[in-house]
Amino acid sequence: MSSLPVPFAVIPFWMKLPDGVSSYSGRMDSMFSLILWITGIIFVIVELLLVFFLWRYRHREGRQVVYTHGNNRVEVVWTIVPAVICVVLALMSRRLWADVKQSMPAGAMPVGIEAEQFAWNIHYPGPDGHLFTEDDVVTLNQLHIPVGRPIVVTLRSKDVIHSFFLPEFRVKQDAVPGMSTRIWFDGNTVGHWEIACAELCGLGHYRMKGFIAVEPQEEFDKWLIEQAAKPAEEAPKTTQEAKQGS
């Protein structure tokens, strides 16, 4: 999919997505721009036809109405063509969906993320090697990952539905109370970005923000040791008013 013909791999400049920094962001963008081109071209054709017909069949004194039962051939064509396009797109995105959402890469680093109103609790496994246990290293809103290493996130929620959103990594996944959802991604560029909540989750939704840092392995190791030495931070207690807004 990364080898789509050039025009389809290019997104118009006024629709630019932020530069992708995960290993699958390029494939996702190709799929996105292909669909955008197909739907965009169809949109323009349909709107032009609409305007043409408005003009062509406008009211004129003495013009008779014509009753028609349609045109079978045209109807068959405009049913089959979109159906074929949809099936082809479904088959093309199937593979990407499976790679991104359904199979987890081997040797990935496990991280647990528990969303709550209005913060992200980030868990790294402690000495027992398991997530969400007493000895986890827990940080508030600070997700650090080593560059180039796949991360498998086990996503949970303490209260309502949140959505874990990393725009530059092309990651978006709901965190649903009572469910553990696994997702994976990686970062192929060193840098800092934001974690957003993409699901309206209460009055404090606008400030439910975290930070992701992609750093060289040694820096990450150092950072994790520092975090392990610190007492875990608690999310600030949300006011009753803010919770009621959920």
For binding to Cu ion (CB under 5 A), which residues are involved?
162, 197, 201, 208
3 state DSSP class of 209:
strand
Neighbours of 71 (CB within 10 A): 9
Instruction: Please say which residue, 23 or 181, places its beta carbon nearer to Cu ion.
Output: 181
Instruction: Please say which residue, 162 or 170, places its beta carbon nearer to Cu ion.
Output: 162
The minimum distance between CB 152 and Cu ion, in angstroms, equals 21
Instruction: Please say which residue, 34 or 155, places its beta carbon nearer to Cu ion.
Output: 155
The minimum distance between CB 161 and Cu ion, in angstroms, equals 8
> Mind giving me the DSSP string for 72-124?
HHHHHHHHHHHHHHHHHHHHHHHHHHIIIII-PPTTPEEEEEEEETTEEEEEE
The minimum distance between CB 138 and Cu ion, in angstroms, equals 18
The amino acid that residue 188 corresponds to is: N
The minimum distance between CB 184 and Cu ion, in angstroms, equals 21
Q: E strand or H helix at 142, and its extent?
A: strand 142-146
User: Is-contact 129 161, C-beta < 8 A?
Assistant: no
Instruction: Please say which residue, 79 or 239, places its beta carbon nearer to Cu ion.
Output: 239
